[in-house]
Each structure stands twice: as C-alpha cells, then as structure tokens.
Amino acid sequence: MSRFLPHPVISAALLVMWLLLNQTVSPGPVLVGLVLALLGGWALAVLRPGRPRLARFGAVLRLTRAVLVDIARSNITVAGLILGRSKTRRSGFLRIQLRLRNPQALAVLACILTAAPGTAWVEFDAEEGWLLLHVLDLIDEESWARMICDRYEEPLMEIFP
C-alpha cells in the first residue's frame, strides 16, 4: 500500500463498478471513475477499519447455511403476505438484548437481518446493547428474539472473537 493508492483492490473495484454502471469506456467516464476510485480508497484509509480476525471456519459455514435458508423462507413468507394468503399479518418493532459488541460482527448481523425480506435493522444502542428491529410479520416476539440470538448472534460470537 502506498500513500497515493492505499487500497488498490478497492479502488480498482470502484473503477470497474463505475464503468459497468456507465456502460462505456469513453474518456470522460473513465476520468470520473478514476477520481472516484482514488477518493474511495483514500476515504477508506482515513476511516481505518480494523482487520477482522476470523475464527472457526465451521461456524462461518453453519452461519452461511442458516442465513441462506432463512432468506429463502422469508422470501416465501413475504410473497405469501403480499399475495394475500395470510390475513393475520401484524407488523411491529421488536427490542432484542444482544451480547455481541464486536463492530464488525454487528455490521454482519445488520446485513443479515436487513437482507432477509420482512425485517429491517432500525437502531442499535451500543451502550446497553439493545437492537431495535422491524418485522413485517411479528407473530411471536420471543421466538424472533430467540432465533436471532441462537441462529445469528452465537455463531457471530464464535467467528469474531
């Protein structure tokens, strides 16, 4: 890494993404893409994200499997709600006490919860560890809290020590 190009892979990915979005390699978009790629790399260098130390590759595979299964189930459930198959839909907010404090693990948890249709990460109180989650089909609050803690939080605590 150099001062001029602190994150070359990120910068290259940003440039490629810019060119793909513009669907051209003419000089104007290439020049703008280069500027954005350099600025993106410098911004990441200023933020200085910590390097994640991953542990327990088996936990990563278990978590990935659980997330993929839950996203598929959630897609089916939300499709059923939208198509009107269920008349008992009750959306709401849910507060869940988390033990997870690693910022990278919390970011992964936020991505997981927001990627599943029907759920949205709303707020996290870092001091007290409360997560506010919006659920489209909130039938049993206790089962949602247990699922998030058991299926997601526990493996994330193993993966990010």
Helices (H), ranges, the chain: 8-22, 27-47, 57-82, 103-115, 141-147, 154-159
- Same domain, yes or no, for 29 and 69? no
- Same domain, yes or no, for 83 and 102? yes
Q: Whole domain around residue 35: which residue ranges?
A: 8-47
Span 25-48, average pLDDT: 90
In angstroms, rounded to a whole number, what is the distance separating the alpha carbons of residues 123 and 136? 16
- The percent of residues in the chain predicted with pLDDT above 70, rounded, is 93
Q: Tokens 């909130």 belong to which residue?
A: 138
In angstroms, rounded to a whole number, what is the distance separating the alpha carbons of residues 111 and 158? 18
- Same domain, yes or no, for 111 and 78? yes
Residues with Cβ within 8 Å of 24's Cβ and at least 6 positions away in sequence, in order, are none
Quick one: pLDDT at residue 33? 93
Angle ∠(157,95,159) on CA atoms, nearest 5 = 10
Tell me if 2 is assigned to some domain: no
Tell me if 13 is assigned to some domain: yes
The pLDDT tens digits for 116-161 are 888 899 999 989 999 999 988 777 888 888 989 999 999 999 998 7
- Same domain, yes or no, for 135 and 74? yes
Quick one: pLDDT at residue 17? 94
Quick one: pLDDT at residue 47? 82
88 confidence band (pLDDT: 50, 70, 90): low
Angle ∠(29,35,36) on CA atoms, nearest 5 = 85
Out of 19-33, 84-98, 113-127, 143-157, pick the least confident.
84-98
Out of 9-18, 106-115, 134-143, pick the least confident.
134-143
Tell me if 36 is assigned to some domain: yes
